[in-house]
Structure 1
Amino acid sequence: MNSVHHAPLAQVDQHTLYRIMALRVAVFVHEQRIIDEIELDGADLLPTTELFWMADDDGEVTATLRVLVDDGVHIGRVATAASARGRGRAGQLITAALQAYPGAVEISAQAHLEAWYGRFGFVRAGENYLDAGIPHVRMILTPR
Structure 2
Amino acid sequence: MYQTKWMGFNELDNTSLYQLLKLRTDIFVVEQNCPYPELDNRDQDALHGLAYDGERLIGCLRILPRKSSGAVAIGRVAVQTDYRSNGVARKLLNEAITHIEKQGESLIDLQAQAHLKRFYGSFGFKETSDVYLEDGIPHLDMQMNLREDSKRLQE
Instruction: Give the TM-score band, short-chain normalised.
Output: over 0.9
Provide the secondary structure at the position in 1 that maps to 2:48.
strand
Instruction: Please list every run of 5 or more consecutive structure 2 residues that lacks an aligned counterpart in the other structure.
Output: 149-155
Equivalent residues of 2:48, 2:61 under 8 A apart? yes
Structure 1 residue 36, shift from structure 2 partner: 4.4
TM-score when normalising by structure 1: 0.92
1:23-43 Cα shifts (integer Å, max 9, x gaps): 001101110122242x21111
Counting only pairs closer than 5 Å after superposition, residues 38-117 of structure 1 correspond to structure 2 as 39-46=38-45, 49-57=46-54, 59-71=55-67, 72-102=71-101, 103-117=106-120
Paired position in structure 2 for 1:124? 127
Structure 1 residue 70, shift from structure 2 partner: 3.4
Instruction: Please list every run of 5 or more consecutive structure 1 residues that lacks an aligned counterpart in the other structure.
Output: none
1:23-79 Cα shifts (integer Å, max 9, x gaps): 001101110122242x21111123xx111010111x110000011113221111000
Paired position in structure 2 for 1:136? 139
Alignment root-mean-square deviation, CA: 1.2
Paired position in structure 1 for 2:34? 34
Moved more, 88-97 or 7-16: 7-16
Identity of aligned residues (%): 33
Provide the secondary structure at the position in 2 that maps to 1:101.
helix
* Letter in structure 1 aligned against 2:23: L
**Which whole-Å CA distance do the structure 1 matches of 2:21 and 2:9 have between them?**
11
> How many residues are aligned here?
140
* Letter in structure 1 aligned against 2:131: N
Equivalent residues of 1:24, 1:77 under 8 A apart? yes
What stretches of structure 1 move > 4 A for 4+ residues in a row? none
Equivalent residues of 1:65, 1:79 under 8 A apart? yes
Paired position in structure 2 for 1:11? 11
